[in-house]
Amino acid sequence: QVQLVESGGGLVQPGGSLRLSCAASGFRLGDYAIGWFRQAPGKEREGVSYISRSGENTYYAVSVKGRFTISRDNAKNTVYLQMNSLNAEDTAVYYCAASGVLLYGTSWYLSEYYNRWGQGTQVTVSS
């Protein structure tokens, strides 16, 4: 079965950290660029971060730059999102998505370029 599965979400206090994982099954993750997106209640889905197939190129939303780090281990068929210094505005359902298209700084955050999506994992930042 071809799918992406996110994990690692949960409840964390402000200032805390979480590491999300995006694991692929049924296909080789290394053939795809991966984006992380999030959607908070009542808000549109937004791009959070992106990593190219090789891992050489990464992009971040302004709101998370310096706090989040995306990485990948193609041997483990997994992409990670390390999230530090979390605050209430980071509360959302986080999704990973795969793209077979080479994306750049002006396109990585556009969801229409991704054709495989995970089911999402909830991240709640609250005291």
Structure confidence at residue 1 (pLDDT): 79
Strand order in the sheet with 68-73: 3-7, 18-25, 78-83, 68-73
Structure tokens given for 10:
């949960």
Mean pLDDT, the chain, whole residue set: 96
What does the pLDDT look like over 84-109, one tens digit per residue? 999 999 999 999 999 999 899 899 99
Decide the pairing of beta strands 121-125 and 10-12: parallel
Quickly state the pLDDT bin for 2 (edges 50, 70, 90).
confident
